[in-house]
Amino acid sequence: MAEAEQPDRLRPGRQVTIDDVRQLMGASTPHFALQLRNRIAKLIAPLPPQDPARLEGEREIARLERLGFTGEIRGEGQTEGMRPLPSLGDEEPTRRVAE
């Protein structure tokens, strides 16, 4: 997953929408979460603080940081006698990587 954006989304004068943010959210997995976070942050950066697309983007950025740093649990969960993988712990704090 590249951090490059679709040229149409970057067209001068085009209004960023909640749908733009949601299109990026759709592909979120732990593996790509931080790249998606960066793309959404870049997309919403010029928007005013109360813009609906910015608010949706900020919520999604927080979710993507949690997903990227703590992973996700799938399947049956922890099996008796086996330790869970470190990346799956709920106690892992959300961290921000300096850009």
- Reported as a single tens digit per residue, the pLDDT across 36-70 is 999 999 999 999 999 999 999 999 999 999 888 88
pTM check: above 0.75: no
pLDDT for res 81: 80
Please say if the pLDDT value at position 72 is more than 80.
no
Please state, in angstroms and as integers, the Cα–Cα distance from residue 32 to each residue in 29, 71, 84, following that order.
5, 11, 22
- Tally Cβ neighbours within 10 Å of residue 67: 20
